Structure 1
Amino acid sequence: MPEVNMRDAMAWMRDLPARMALRCANMRIINRRLERGHAKRLARHEGKAPKLSGIDLEIVEGLRRDGIFVTNLAALGLPGSDAMLAAGRMVGDAFSVEARQQSADGAALTIAPPASVASRPEIFAWGLHERLLDIVEAYLGVPVGYDGVNLIYTVSGGREAGPRCWHRDWEDRRTIKIGIYCNDVVAGGGPFQLIRRRDPTQGGPHGYHYSLADDNMLTEKLGADYHQDIVSCEGPAGTVFFCETALHFHRGEPAVHADRQALFHSYFARRPRHPFLCERSGLSRKQISHLAGPLSLRQRASACWRRDLPWFVRLIPPARI
């Protein structure tokens, strides 16, 4: 068997428990039980969600209406933003040569090494800012789990593969990503894109099903004129977009003219429906515990969300990144 096929086969076998767990979760009787449990958690938390105002409220309203809200670090005004962005640029620049080599070797997704991100704690800690947790909690309606951060380096060349194909994220019923551009991103530079329309057959009694989508599938699910609702996020370094990536098809448009560096902070319910499809940052649990150690009790609980899971769920190994 060729080496690449052997690697693919081994990866498929490693992810088999997670994929089987997803299939089981979608079985009618189990899905109903999971949905009832989530509904109870929403009801218990009703009235406890943070009260927002100003741009924070606008972000939640935009997520509910369109699945996306675009702003910038200056408008958010969060302490530590300049240091976070500078650290992200340093990590991205240091990874650029390796990213281009990985892309040339056929990698569909080029992510900066988790150790590089862990070495700059200001990047990880920024995603746990109390105001960000308030925003996400107000949207989700339950306490927040923080799945860390990736620096995704998109190499120019226009290849449509992996996250540059239309897809939905599979960690939970609802998933929020906060993206921050580390460099200027213009048309042709691989901007993040999201379709504001939602697939009415995803979720609830239908269960949750995931696959890459081409034009035919998007037309079938969203309508022939779905192109009218594509939001393309272009902007200078420091552009920030809050996006709902579980309910909405999205992608990084293939970069043609320039490379793109972007940080993506990830959030979902503290008890996600698919914990075996989470832990996407590549950071080890030990690294996460260390990075969250100096922070508040709420921040640590969000970062170490796995501790709230039932023991038998924690036994299922997570799928690869």
Structure 2
Amino acid sequence: MDIVAGLEKNGVYITSLDELDLPGTTALWTSATEIANTYSLRARNGEFADDYTVQVGAEEMMRHPHIVRWPLNDRILDIVETYLGLPAAYDTLNFFYTVADGRQVAARRWHRDVEDRRMVKVIVYLHDVDIDTGPLEILHRSFPGSDTLEGANFPVLTQEMLEERLGTTLQSGDVTTCTGRAGTVIFTDVASHYHRGRPAVARDRCALFYNFFSRTPLRPFFCGRHVFSRQQLAELAAGQTDRARDCMLWQSNLPLLARIVPSARL
């Protein structure tokens, strides 16, 4: 209830893997940090020199299905569904390696997600994240146009563009900057609140982003921004509880037209 209250009040609640103490956490941590260390080595070898963010692919994730299934624990689903007020759809995860190049691009700009009216993203930091290492930031102020779509999206803004719309620089109470040690877990509503990944400048960072919304989302054609095929989702759902399986295979109950997911850029 503390987590739900934090989401209701501020759109964000910060905790940790140790505090949550969920089954499967040790296996999750072992596999995820091993992948993160591999990507760090690849980055040092210059493999990602032209990229600002790299996503771990489906083939590699299918070798570690426990990472994908970790948030399907009843406690996580109870939190998500209490906040949403509806049965939850689990849109799996994005496993991102973020390069510390300081660029304000893509999700490093201020934006709101548009899949549903309310959403819950559960983020797990695999590296220590300070102010210079790309922390998630949640905005607590509105501005002209903040609740109005421009085309298919809400305005997507650099820091300078945001402050121009606000007519002032951001103050300390205007933003929650989610710093924390490796193992920090963040629950946040990315649909109701403007947010960004602050551009990293000091060190690369790796994190897991688990995605939830209702099973009848407002814009289903914007959902499915993950790396898995429908067949892979069915394999991941096999052997899970009825509740977990229904969360994972939520798209199968949508009308055919709504299941068509256009390609979406990162």
Return the offset for 1:247.
1.4
Contact 1:271-1:308 at 8 Å conserved across structures = no
**Count of residues in correspondence between the two structures:** 264
Contact 1:102-1:110 at 8 Å conserved across structures = no
- TM-score normalized with structure 1 length: 0.75
Deviations 1:103-126 (A, max 9, x none): 422x34321122222210111111
2: distance between equivalents of 1:300 and 1:202? Answer: 36
Q: Is 2:220 the partner of 1:279?
A: no
Return the offset for 1:63.
0.4
Deviations 1:25-80 (A, max 9, x none): xxxxxxxxxxxxxxxxxxxxxxxxxxxxxxxx000110010000001011111111
Name the structure 2 match of 1:122.
66
Aligned pair in 2 of structure 1 residues 225, 188: CA closer, same or farther (>3 Å)?
closer
Contact 1:144-1:269 at 8 Å conserved across structures = yes
Contact 1:195-1:226 at 8 Å conserved across structures = no
Q: Is 2:191 the partner of 1:259?
A: no
Return the offset for 1:139.
0.5
Name the structure 2 match of 1:65.
9
Return the offset for 1:198.
5.0
Name the structure 2 match of 1:95.
39
**Unaligned stretches of 5+ residues in structure 1:** 1-56
After TM superposition, the structure 1 stretch with the greater mean CA deviation from structure 2, 215-224 or 200-209, is 200-209
Name the structure 1 match of 2:251.
306
Contact 2:36-2:97 at 8 Å conserved across structures = yes
Name the larger-Rg structure: 1
Name the structure 2 match of 1:250.
195
Aligned pair in 2 of structure 1 residues 222, 269: CA closer, same or farther (>3 Å)?
farther
Name the structure 1 match of 2:180.
235
The structure whose residues are more often helix, as a share, is 1
Letter in 1 for 2:27: A
Contact 1:276-1:318 at 8 Å conserved across structures = no
Q: Is 2:202 the partner of 1:268?
A: no
Return the offset for 1:164.
1.3
Return the offset for 1:86.
1.7
Aligned pair in 2 of structure 1 residues 134, 202: CA closer, same or farther (>3 Å)?
farther
Return the offset for 1:281.
1.7
Contact 2:52-2:101 at 8 Å conserved across structures = no
Name the structure 1 match of 2:121.
177
Name the structure 2 match of 1:111.
55
2: distance between equivalents of 1:110 and 1:149? Answer: 14
Name the structure 1 match of 2:233.
288
Contact 1:182-1:261 at 8 Å conserved across structures = yes
Deviations 1:85-104 (A, max 9, x none): 22111122223355575642
Aligned pair in 2 of structure 1 residues 92, 67: CA closer, same or farther (>3 Å)?
same
2: distance between equivalents of 1:223 and 1:294? Answer: 54
Deviations 1:233-280 (A, max 9, x none): 111111000011111111111111111010010000111111111111
Name the structure 1 match of 2:19.
75
Return the offset for 1:162.
1.4
SS state of the match for residue 236, structure 1? coil
Contact 1:147-1:267 at 8 Å conserved across structures = yes
1: distance between equivalents of 2:15 and 2:167? Answer: 28
- The 5-angstrom pairing of residues 124-143 of structure 1 reads 124-143=68-87
Contact 1:173-1:203 at 8 Å conserved across structures = no
2: distance between equivalents of 1:221 and 1:291? Answer: 44
Letter in 1 for 2:205: R
- TM-score normalized with structure 2 length: 0.89
- Aligned residues: percent identity? 39
2: distance between equivalents of 1:312 and 1:134? Answer: 30
